[in-house]
């Protein structure tokens, strides 16, 4: 698609205030995904593997992948509107977050920085849903200060690398087949000494563990990956040696700019549920929607949803027109994260006690939104990024 066509699609989405409810993906997701007991799945932290395969069959994993590599070659507008529709139609927020993470981080790493051989090896399984990939940066002692990492990759005399390290809180960590691992090849060189590796997690020395209990998005596999003297061939290096920081920054711009697309769709779904409840729940002889305290809360949810959408699309417009997206991607993440949490709390408030107990699937929306404060760079750290770009 040309830049003009991308911009036209985004302009159309902005002008059409009901857009998220109309996409084909939303209707498809409502019909085909999350048909199981989501309260039980959330309680037991069960990943919806069958739904993941349905997403693969629909071609969702190939959205941002060029056709010559087996993908859809879709433009950014199509990708975002698809992920937004997915979040609107599918109530399993853990699944839609997992989909967006793979599409927008690990696959971006492979497509932008992988060699032909690396792409041929890993992309087919990722696109057909039979393989999972994780982006492994965070460690127990280096989170926001990511380049203070302890992970090391030592180049051996025969050109291979030996990796040691412990990556923590990794999406798909427990089940990933491929881990994009960041490790220091020159520990004395700070971020300049970090390299990225495509590590096959079936190699000897790799161990994966799940974090079973977490606040929200419990249906996303999540956990740690440890590397004990893991020897990888030279062709596991992604990009050049020492290019890890540049690769990480490029992936993060994409991820933080757009990974909230499903949540933006979910905000529309939550607004619809809140309106329906406010119209039908009667107290004091009529629907609670007639109380201004309730209707204004619904209006606040609508306004926040629009704000999150606009910042999301604005980042895409910046990228489609060739601009640097660090500022707009950071703002998109801050706005989507904060508005998502505030609106999920309003949803629970409107539902009274039903918003507090588990069976009505309202409190889960709030728990699912909180993780956004940390992933793709904490919102505090992104405020630092914006402050720096403002020259403060
Ligand atoms: C749902 C979820 C999915 C994740 N998926 C992945 C993944 O796939 N791959 C991966 O590598 N990591 C992943 N993470 C980890 C995530 O990247 C880290 O949680 C994040 O970088 C923050 O690091 P930390 O948790 O160690 O917190 P810390 O960095 O210890 O921060 C603790 C607090 O201090 C604040 N703080 C720290 N430094 C600063 C600063 N310079 N300025 C202002 N405030 C600061 C933070 O905002 C936060 O409030 C995920 C996390 C979550 C919750």
Domains and CATH numbers, the chain: 3-132 (1.10.540.10), 134-245 (2.40.110.10), 248-389 (1.20.140.10)
| Ligand 1 pocket, residue 135 CB under 6 Å | yes
pLDDT at residue 252 greater than cutoff 80: yes
342: its two tokens: 């505030």
Q: Mean pLDDT throughout 302-310?
A: 97
pLDDT tens readout for residues 328-337: 999 999 999 9
| Ligand 1 pocket, residue 37 CB under 6 Å | no
What is the pLDDT confidence band of residue 12, given thresholds at 50, 70 and 90? very high
Q: Mean pLDDT throughout 238-267?
A: 96
What average pLDDT does the chain have? 96
pLDDT at residue 21 greater than cutoff 80: no
User: 152 has which bridge partners?
Assistant: 164, 184
pLDDT tens readout for residues 141-173: 999 999 999 999 999 999 999 999 999 999 999
Alpha carbon nearest to ligand 1 atom 25, residue: 143
Q: Mean pLDDT throughout 339-362?
A: 97
Structural contact between residues 134 and 178, judged by C-beta atoms closer than 8 angstroms: yes
Closest residue by Cα to residue 222 from 46, 3, 43: 46
DSSP 235-246: GGEESSTT-HHH
Alpha carbon nearest to ligand 1 atom 7, residue: 170
pLDDT for res 157: 97
Q: Residue 366: how many CB atoms within 10 A of its CB?
A: 23
What is the pLDDT confidence band of residue 23, given thresholds at 50, 70 and 90? confident
Cα(6) to centroid(ligand 1), Å: 33
pLDDT for res 1: 63
* H/E stretch holding 227: strand 222-232
Q: Mean pLDDT throughout 179-193?
A: 97
| Ligand 1 pocket, residue 259 CB under 6 Å | no
pLDDT tens readout for residues 91-148: 999 999 999 999 999 999 999 999 999 999 999 999 999 999 999 999 999 999 999 9
| Ligand 1 pocket, residue 144 CB under 6 Å | yes
Instruction: Indicate the pTM of the whole model.
Output: 0.97
pLDDT tens readout for residues 376-385: 999 999 999 9
List 24, 57, 68, 255, catalytic entry = 255
Q: Mean pLDDT throughout 281-296?
A: 98
Closest residue by Cα to residue 7 from 65, 80, 62: 80
pLDDT at residue 19 greater than cutoff 80: no
Please give, one letter per residue, the 3-state secondary structure of 53-95.
HHHHHCCHHHCCCCHHHCCCCCCHHHHHHHHHHHHHHCCCHHH
pLDDT for res 258: 96
Chain-centroid distance of CA 108 in Å reads 12
Q: Is 139 a catalytic residue?
A: no
Name the H helices within the chain: 3-15, 24-32, 38-44, 49-57, 76-89, 93-101, 107-113, 116-127, 244-258, 261-280, 292-320, 326-350, 363-370, 379-389
Q: Mean pLDDT throughout 207-217?
A: 93
Structural contact between residues 181 and 146, judged by C-beta atoms closer than 8 angstroms: no
Alpha-carbon distance 360 to 357, whole Å?
Answer: 7
| Ligand 1 pocket, residue 381 CB under 6 Å | yes
Cα(143) to centroid(ligand 1), Å: 5
pLDDT for res 321: 95
């Amino acid at each position: 698609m040309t830049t003009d066509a991308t911009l036209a699609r985004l302009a159309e989405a902005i002008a059409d205030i009901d857009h998220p409810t109309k996409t084909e993906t939303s209707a498809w997701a409502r019909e085909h995904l999350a048909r199981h007991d989501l309260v039980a799945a959330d309680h037991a932290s069960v990943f919806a593997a069958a739904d993941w395969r349905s997403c693969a069959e629909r071609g969702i994993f190939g959205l941002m992948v060029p056709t010559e590599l087996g993908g859809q070659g879709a433009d950014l507008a199509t990708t975002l509107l698809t992920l937004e529709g997915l979040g609107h139609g599918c109530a399993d927020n853990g699944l839609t977050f997992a989909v967006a993470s793979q599409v927008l981080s690990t696959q971006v790493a492979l497509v932008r920085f992988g060699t032909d051989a690396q792409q041929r090896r890993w992309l087919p399984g990722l696109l057909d849903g039979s393989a999972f990939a994780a982006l492994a940066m965070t460690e127990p002692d280096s989170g926001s200060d990511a380049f203070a990492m302890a992970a090391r990759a030592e180049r051996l005399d025969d050109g291979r690398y030996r990796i040691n390290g412990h990556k923590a809180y990794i999406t798909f960590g427990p089940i990933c087949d491929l881990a994009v691992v960041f490790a220091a090849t020159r520990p004395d060189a700070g971020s300049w000494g970090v390299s990225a590796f495509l590590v096959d997690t079936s190699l000897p020395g790799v161990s994966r563990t799940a974090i079973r209990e977490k606040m929200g998005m419990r249906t996303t596999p999540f956990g740690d990956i440890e590397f004990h003297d893991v020897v990888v061939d030279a062709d596991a290096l992604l990009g050049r040696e020492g290019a890890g920081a540049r690769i990480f920054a490029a992936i993060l711009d994409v991820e933080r700019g757009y990974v909230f697309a499903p949540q933006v769709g979910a905000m529309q779904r939550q607004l619809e549920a809140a309106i329906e409840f406010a119209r039908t729940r009667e107290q004091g002889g009529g629907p609670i929607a007639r109380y201004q305290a309730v209707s204004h809360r619904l209006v606040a949810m609508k306004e926040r949803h629009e704000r999150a959408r606009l910042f999301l699309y604005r980042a895409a417009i910046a990228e489609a027109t060739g601009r640097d997206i660090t500022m707009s991607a950071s703002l998109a993440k801050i706005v989507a994260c904060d508005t998502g949490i505030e609106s999920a709390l309003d949803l629970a408030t409107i539902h009274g006690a039903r918003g507090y107990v588990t069976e009505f699937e309202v409190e889960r929306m709030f728990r699912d939104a909180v993780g956004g404060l940390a992933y793709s760079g904490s919102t505090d750290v992104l405020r630092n990024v914006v402050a720096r770009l403002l020259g403060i």
